[in-house]
Amino acid sequence: DSGVTQTPKHLITATGQRVTLRCSPRSGDLSVYWYQQSLDQGLQFLIQYYNGEERAKGNILERFSAQQFPDLHSELNLSSLELGDSALYFCASSDGTATFPTGELFFGEGSRLTVL
């Protein structure tokens, strides 16, 4: 158990819909990262938040947005869903203060999104 909690574990929805994925980081961790894992693209970095502020951005689509709340949990919002958005979405956390570059990311179990 990594200590990172993601909900829901599975989600099935239709094209054009909007979903929200939730992540609770490990206790005390200030940084939250979102990754997308698909068969053809592998594991891709989407976005990072540190203590409520956006810190780094990857290949995140404009239809996707995220935020980190004062209690440090984070939500990833996916809108106007397309078939190609079907994937595993992982949240990871770190304390954000670990000395680079040996910091460790702790991954949740992921949310599997299926768009029909």
Site residues for other proteins per CB under 8 A: 2, 4, 31, 33, 42-45, 48, 50, 55-56, 58, 90, 92, 94, 96, 100-105, 107-110
42 or 70: CB nearest other proteins: 42
Nearest CB to other proteins, comparing residues 16 and 103:
103
Q: Between 85 and 110, name the residue whose CB sits nearer to other proteins.
A: 110
CA-to-CA distance for 94 and 50, rounded, in angstroms?
Answer: 9
HSE (side-chain half, CA atoms, 13 Å) at 9:
3
Amino acid at 12: I
